[in-house]
Amino acid sequence: MNKQIQVTRSSMPPLEEYIEEIKSIWDSYWLTNMGTKHKQLEVKLSEYLNVPYISLFANGHLALENAIAAFNLEGEVITTPFTFASTTHAIVRNGLKPVFCDINPEDYTIDVDIIESLITENTCAIIPVHVFGNVCKVREIELIAEKYKLKVIYDAAHSFGVSYEGVGIGNYGDASMFSFHATKVFNTIEGGAVTFKDSFLKNKLDYIKNFGITGPETVKYVGGNAKMNEFQASMGLCNLRHIDEEINKRKLIVERYTSNLQGVKGIKLVRPQDGVNSNYSYFPVVFDGYEKTRDQVHKELKEHDIISRKYFYPLTNSFDCYVDKFNQGDTPVARYIGDRVLTLPLYADLDLVDVDRICEIIEG
Ligand SMILES: *Cc1c(COP(=O)(O)O)cnc(C)c1O
Does residue 70 surpass a pLDDT of 80? Answer: yes
Q: Hey, which CATH number is domain 15-241, 3.40.640.10, 3.40.50.12500, 3.30.420.40, 3.80.10.10?
A: 3.40.640.10
C-alpha dihedral sign at 77, 83, 87, 92: positive
184 is catalytic: yes
- The domain locations on the chain are 15-241, 243-363
pLDDT of residue 314: 97
Q: Which residue of 129, 176, 178, 179 sits with most ligand 1 atoms within 8 Å of its CB, as the best mutation to test the pocket?
A: 179
Task: List the catalytic residue out of 184, 204, 227, 268.
Answer: 184
**Do 243-363 and 15-241 fall under one CATH topology?**
no
pLDDT of residue 1: 58
Q: What is the pLDDT of residues 117-176, one digit of tens each?
A: 999 999 999 999 999 999 999 999 999 999 999 999 999 999 999 999 999 999 999 999
Tell me how far the alpha carbon of residue 296 lies from the centroid of ligand 1, in angstroms: 27
Tell me how far the alpha carbon of residue 57 lies from the centroid of ligand 1, in angstroms: 12
Tell me how far the alpha carbon of residue 60 lies from the centroid of ligand 1, in angstroms: 5
Residues with CB under 6 Å of ligand 1 are: 59-61, 83-84, 86-87, 129, 155, 157-158, 179, 181, 192
What are residue 93's phi and psi, to 5 degrees? -70, -15
| Mean pLDDT for the stretch of residues 223-229 | 98
Q: What is the pLDDT of residues 44-61, one digit of tens each?
A: 999 999 999 999 999 999
Q: Hey, which CATH number is domain 243-363, 3.90.1150.10, 3.40.50.720, 3.40.50.300, 1.10.3470.10?
A: 3.90.1150.10
Q: Which atom of ligand 1 is nearest to the CA of 180?
A: 7
What are residue 55's phi and psi, to 5 degrees? -130, 125
| Mean pLDDT for the stretch of residues 208-235 | 97
pLDDT of residue 3: 86
Q: What is the pLDDT of residues 267-324, one digit of tens each?
A: 999 999 999 999 999 999 999 999 999 999 999 999 999 999 999 999 999 999 999 9
C-alpha dihedral sign at 62, 68, 69, 74: negative
Q: What pTM value is reported for the model?
A: 0.98
